[in-house]
Chains A and B, each alone.
Chain A
Amino acid sequence: MAPAIELIGITKRFPGVIANDNINLTVEEGEVHAICGENGAGKSTLMKILYGMQPADEGVMKVFGEEVTFGSPNDAIDRGIGMVHQHLMLADQMSVIENVILGSEPTKGGGIIDFDAAKAHLAEVGSAYGLTVDPDDMIDTLEIGERQRVEIIKVLYRGAKVLILDEPTAVLVPQEVEELFNNLRELKADGATIIFIDHKLQEVLEISDSITVIRRGKTIATVKASDVTAGDLAELMVGEELPSPATGDSTVTTDVALEVNGLTVLDDDERAVVDDVSLKVHRGEILGIAGIEGNGQSELINAIVGTWSANSGNVRMAGKDITTASVRDRREAGLGYVPQDRHREGLLLDAPLWENAALGHQTGAPYSKGFWIDRASSRDHTGTIRSEFDVRSPNVDVSARALSGGNQQKLIIGREMTAHPDVLIAAHPTRGIDVGAQADVWNQIRAARAEGLATLLISADLDELIGLSDTIVVMYHGKLVATLDPSEIDPRTLGSYMTGAALSDASATDPGPSELSGDPS
C-alpha cells in the first residue's frame, strides 16, 4: 500500500535562509508521525508546503501514491489534508460555526448559508471525536485551548484524512494534552493519519509511532518511537542532553516588589473572572500560578499589566499604587511582560526586528532619546539580543513574520530581559522554544532572579512551573485556592489541584483566598 504522504527532495528558500533543504519524509497511512527539530529547523515551512500554503522551490509530493501539486490549501483539503497552525488563524469577530464553515459554507440554494445543516454536521463531528464546542460562541471570548479545539474541529469538519498539527500542545496543560491525545488515538483508530510537531519529547514519545528529526532544513533521521528515548531524540535534534529547570538556592528577599490586594475583574456578563485575588511577589522570587486556561489567569495578568481594568482591589509595585496607572506608566516603572499569545500581543509581524525589540520600551534608552527614535542604537541593541538569545535570523531588518515561532518567542524574551525589569509578568515564557534554547531562557530568568527580579510566572508546562517557582499558587474559577511548595509536589498532584480534584482534601489546609503570600513556607 502506498504511504499516505511522501515528500521527496523538498527544498524551500527564503531571503537569507534555506528553510527546507532536500527534505524527504514518508508518512504511512494510519500512523502518528512526529516531526522534531530545533527552532527554525524548517518544520512549519515543510508543513505549510504540504498544506499548499507555500509552494516548494523544488521537490515532489505524493499523497496516497499520487503525485500532486497544490496551488492553495483548498487543493490540499480536496486531497483530504487538514492543518492546525502553530499560530491559530481564526477570525476573532466571528462565531465558532462561522469560522468552522469559512470557505466551505453549505448553502440552502440562493446562496443563503445553511447554518442549521452546518451546526448539525458540527455536532456530529464533535461527538464522533469527543470534541465539544459551542457553535455560537464568539472566537474572541474563547480561551486559547478552546480556540485550538475549534481549529481541530474545523479541519475534521472538512473530512480530513491526514491531519497536520503544528505544536498543538504548546498551549495546553497536561490534562488537556491527555484529552487531545485521546482524541488523536481515536482519530487514528478510525484510520486517520496524523503528522504532529512538538518540542516536548516525552509527549512525542507517548503519542507517536514514528519520529522524523529535522535539523537546519535537512532530514537527519526517521526512527520508531519505541526504539528511542527522550535523550536520544534531544541528541539527534541539538546534540545536547535534556535540560531540566531547577531553581537552585532561594534568593527570595523580604522586599515586596509586586502586590495584589483583593483584585476582582468582571467580564462582560458581570461574572467575576478574577475573584478577590491577593498575592505578593518579593524581589528575587518567582511566584508560579498554576491553573487550566480559562480560570482567570489571563484576566489577572491583563489587570496587572493594565490592558484591562480591575473592578475592585488594587495593584502595587514597590509599594506604589498602580491600579489606575496607564500601561505605559507601569512599563516605564519597570514592569516587563511576556504575553501568552505572541502574535496577538507581542509582535508587529510586518515590522523589522529592531522595531519589535523596541515595542514596550520605545520611550527610553536604548531605543529612543527624548522624542526621537534612536535607530542606530535600537538596531545595535537588537543585534545584542539576537546573539545573546540566539534569535536565528539573517539580520535585524527582516520582518518578525520571517522568524520561526520559537525564534519570535526568543526575541520577546530577549527584549524583556535586556530591559532589566523589576517585575516580570511571564506567561508561558518558553512556549514554542526548543529544548536547548529553553534551558537558556530558564538560566536567564534565574540569573535575573538572583539579581532581585520578581517574576509572576504562568505556564502550562508543569515541569517548568515546578522547576522555576519558589512558590506555586493554584488558580481555580477565578480564585487562588491553594499555596504549594514546589519542592514537595510533582506534576500529577499539581494537575489534580488545577482541575479542582484535590481541592476537597486541600480545603482543610487552605489558607483562604484573602491573604495568600508568596512567602515560601
Chain B
Amino acid sequence: MTNPLLRRIGLALAAPVLAAVFALVISALVLELSGSDSIDTFRTIGSNGLKLETFVDTLNRATPLFLAGVAAAIGFRMNLFNIGVEGQYILAGFAAAVVGAELNAYALPGFVHTAAIIGTAMLVGAAWAGLSGLLKVTRGINEVISTIMLNFIATGGIVAALLPKVITDPTAANQGTDEIAERAWLPELNGLLEIVTREIGKGRRLTGVFLIAVIVGVIYHVVVNRTVFGYDLRSSGMNPFAAFAGGVPPKKMVFLAMVLSGLVAGLVGMPEILSENHAYDQGFIQGLGFGGIAIALLGRNSALGMTFAALLFGFLDSSSAVLQVQASASAEIVKIMQATFLLAAVVAYEFVSRIRQRDEVARASVATDVAVDSAAIGGASA
C-alpha cells in the first residue's frame, strides 16, 4: 500500500504534469512535421531556461499575465465572462501614459507621480469594465457582448483616434506618448533577486510591477476566500437566486465584480509604462487580456494556480524569443504548446478528480462497512 499522503500530493501534481507531457508530445509532433528537430528545439528551450536572465525574463512576462488572470478570475468567480480585460488594460495604459507625460511639467515627488499613473490606470480600467457592468444590470445586456464591443471601441476607436493627437515628435522612431519623467519610473527589483543569486547580466531588469502583482495576488486570495465580500461574490457565482434570498444583492455584485475586475485589469499594462518604454506607443503589448483568460482557466481561479500558470506561460513566451533568435524552429511552436497545455490541463483535471473520487469511495467503504452492517442487523429484525 502506498502512503496516502504521498498519493494525495501525487494526485495534486498529476494533472499539470500529465498536461505538460501531453503538450510536449503534441509539440514534438508538430515540430517534426514542420521539418524541425524537436529534440534540438527542446534542448534549446531547456538550456536557455536554466539561465538566470531567462528567469528574470520569465518573471517579467508572467507579471502582466498574472494580473490579467486575476482580472478575469474575479469575473469568473461570479460567472461573469469579462472578455474585456484586453480593451480595459490597453485603454488604461494609454490614459496612464498620457497623464504620466502631462505630469512631467509639474514639480511632483516621484512617488506621487507614480501613484497618479497607477491610479489613473486602475480607474480607467474600472470605469471601462464598470460600463459593461452597468449595461448588464440596467439593460440586461450580456457582458460578453458588451465587453467585446467595448474592446473594439477602446482599441480601434478611442486609442487609435487619440494617439496621433498626443504625438509631439512626428519624426521619432517610436510613435507614441512622450516619455514619462524618470522620477516616476518604478525601481527595478534586481537587487532583491541578487541577494540570493549572482549579478543579473544582459541588461535584464526585473520590473517593479512584479511586487505589485504579488500584493494583488495576496489580496485577491484573502478577499475571495476569507472575507464576507468574497463569500458574497462566490455564492452569487454559484447560485444567484439563493445568494439573493440570503441577502446578496445580485445587481450590485455584478457591477462591483466588473469594477474590481477592471481595477486589476488596469494594472496589466503597467510594466510597459513604468518599467520598459515609459510611454504608450504603437508597439504597446497586445493580447494579454486573452492570455489572462487562459491563465485563469489553467489556474482554476485560484491565486496559487494562476501563479504557476503565469510562470509557465511566461517561461514559454520567453523561450519563444530565444527560438526566434536562434531560428532553430518557428517561434509559433510556443503558442501551440500553450494551447495544447491549456486543453490538456482541462482534460487532466477532470481525469484526476475522478480518480480522487474513487479513492475517497474506497476509503469510505472501509470506514462505513462496520457501521452499516450493525445498522442492518437491527433493521432486518424489524
Contacts and interface: CB of A to CB of B under 8 A. Distances in A.
Interface string A336-376: 01010000111111110001001111110000100111010
A331 B247 contact: yes
B242 A359 contact: yes
Interface string B356-381: 01001101110111001001100110
Interface of A is mostly: mixed
A103 interface: no
Contact of B245 (A13, A14, A305, A363): A305
Nearest to A216: B375
A18 B227 contact: no
Nearest to A370: B228
A18 B246 contact: no
Contacts of B246: 327, 331, 359-362
**B: contact size bracket:** 35 or more
A516 B246 CA distance: 29
Interface stretch (B127-135, B168-176, B208-216, B233-241): B233-241
Contact of A16 (B244, B245, B368, B375): B368
Contact of A15 (B226, B239, B357, B375): B357
B369 A360 contact: no
A114 interface: no
Contacts of A15: 357, 360-361, 363-364
B361 to A, nearest CB: 5
B287 interface: no
A355 B382 contact: no
A250 interface: no
A372 B228 CA distance: 6
A328 B231 contact: no
A239 interface: yes
B133 to A, nearest CB: 19
B81 to A, nearest CB: 17
B247 A215 contact: no
Contact of A394 (B242, B364, B380, B382): B364
A21 B372 contact: yes
B229 interface: yes
Contacts of B144: none
Contacts of A330: 247
A17 B368 contact: yes
Contact of A362 (B232, B363, B365): B232
A357 to B, nearest CB: 11
Nearest to A360: B246
A220 B242 contact: no
B4 to A, nearest CB: 14
Contacts of B239: 344, 347-349
Interface in B211-264: 226-232, 234-235, 238-239, 241-249
A327 B247 contact: yes
Contacts of B231: 355, 358, 362, 368, 373
A176 interface: no
Given A217-B372, A362-B228, A328 B247 contact: yes
Nearest to A215: B379
Contact of A220 (B247, B361, B363, B379): B379
Interface in A377-396: 394
A136 interface: no
Contacts of A373: 226-228, 230-231
A368 B228 contact: yes
A421 B43 CA distance: 67
Nearest to A342: B242
Interface in B99-136: none
Contact of B242 (A217, A326, A332, A345): A345
Given A236-B382, A351-B238, A359-B246, A216 B372 contact: yes
A33 to B, nearest CB: 20
Nearest to B242: A345
A314 B226 CA distance: 37
B361 A14 contact: yes
Contacts of A217: 372, 376
Given A239-B382, A307-B245, A360-B246, A348 B238 contact: yes
A373 B244 CA distance: 18
Nearest to A12: B361
A221 B381 CA distance: 10
A220 B379 CA distance: 6
A424 to B, nearest CB: 14
A218 interface: yes
Interface in A102-133: none
Interface string A206-237: 00000000011110110000000000000110
Contacts of B380: 218, 220
A45 to B, nearest CB: 13
Contacts of B247: 326-328, 330-332, 360, 362-363
A13 B242 contact: no
B230 to A, nearest CB: 7
A360 B228 CA distance: 11
Contacts of A363: 228, 247
A328 B245 contact: no
A14 B375 contact: no
Interface centre among B226, B231, B363, B367 (most CB of A within 10 A): B231
Interface centre among B229, B243, B360, B379 (most CB of A within 10 A): B379
A17 B249 contact: no
Nearest to B361: A13
B245 A372 contact: no
Nearest to B222: A372
Contact of B372 (A18, A220, A375): A18
Interface centre among A15, A21, A215 (most CB of B within 10 A): A15
Given A14-B361, A15-B364, A17-B364, A355 B235 contact: yes
A366 to B, nearest CB: 13
A358 B238 CA distance: 14
Nearest to B235: A348
Contacts of B241: 344-345
19 contacts: A18-B368, A57-B361, A215-B375, A215-B379, A215-B382, A216-B379, A218-B376, A236-B382, A326-B247, A327-B246, A328-B247, A328-B248, A331-B246, A348-B239, A349-B238, A355-B231, A361-B246, A363-B247, A371-B227
Interface of B: 226-232, 234-235, 238-239, 241-249, 357, 360-361, 363-365, 367-369, 372, 375-376, 379-380, 382
Interface of A: 13-18, 21, 57, 215-218, 220-221, 235-236, 239, 305, 307, 326-328, 330-332, 337, 339, 344-351, 355, 358-363, 368, 371-373, 375, 394
- The 9 A-B residue pairs with the shortest CB-CB distance, nearest first, are A328-B247, A360-B246, A15-B360, A359-B246, A345-B245, A348-B238, A215-B379, A216-B375, A16-B364
Given A15-B361, A363-B247, 13 more contacts: A16-B368, A17-B368, A18-B364, A18-B369, A21-B372, A330-B247, A346-B242, A359-B243, A362-B228, A362-B232, A371-B229, A372-B226, A373-B231
